[in-house]
Amino acid sequence: MYLVMQPAPAAAPEPAPTVTVTTTTTATATVTATRTLPPAAPPTPTPPATWTEVDAYMDTSDAAWALKEAPESFRAMAADFINNDTDGCGRMMWVTDIHPDGFVIGSQGGITCGGGAHYIWVDSGNGWEELFGMQDLLPCEDLERAGVPQDTHSLECVSNDEVYFY
């Protein structure tokens, strides 16, 4: 005995919806029209969110507010950071990547006094927070565990002693 596998017959297409319109023109006459609509087009899938590459150096609150690619809440946080120069050194931020899921990559520090670091900021739902502040490469696993979206334009990480763009 042999078993022969054959593909299942294709399912019949679903019939197009029918629309019935009833219009009453007088108390004794009723007109009914029936029309078949064409099948609806399948929905267009939404592409996944991706990083936007920017090169935004900001040392004034006006420059922070001009970063239109960033959410308003991030621009407000950046302007506040720049304006709260408590040590008289001047403050700056430089943004390189923005993700619509609430992540921003860049640097911040003092202008004339030195210092600063590379940062990943995240919108926590209660405002923007420093997810990572770094002066060296992070393990790729830490970025993945924290939910940082991949395919950035500027972020490198290390895994098994190898350096990768994240």
pLDDT tens by residue, 139-155: 999 999 999 999 998 99
**Which of the four pLDDT bands, split at 50, 70 and 90, describes residue 44?**
confident
Residue written as token pair 């939404």: 46
Q: What tens digit of pLDDT does each residue of 101-125 get?
A: 999 999 999 999 888 999 999 999 9
Q: Which residues of 128-160 are buried (b: 16+ CB within 10 A; e: fewer)?
A: beebbeeeeebebeebeeeebbeebebbebbee
Q: What is the mean pLDDT of residues 81-94?
A: 94
Residue 8 has pLDDT above 80, yes or no: no
Residue 26 has pLDDT above 80, yes or no: no
Q: Higher confidence at residue 2 or residue 111?
A: 111
- What are phi and psi for residue 53, nearest 5 degrees? -85, 130
Interatomic CA distance for residues 120 and 25, integer angstroms: 68
Distances (CA, A) of 42 to 36, 39, 113: 18, 9, 59
State if pTM tops 0.75.
Answer: no
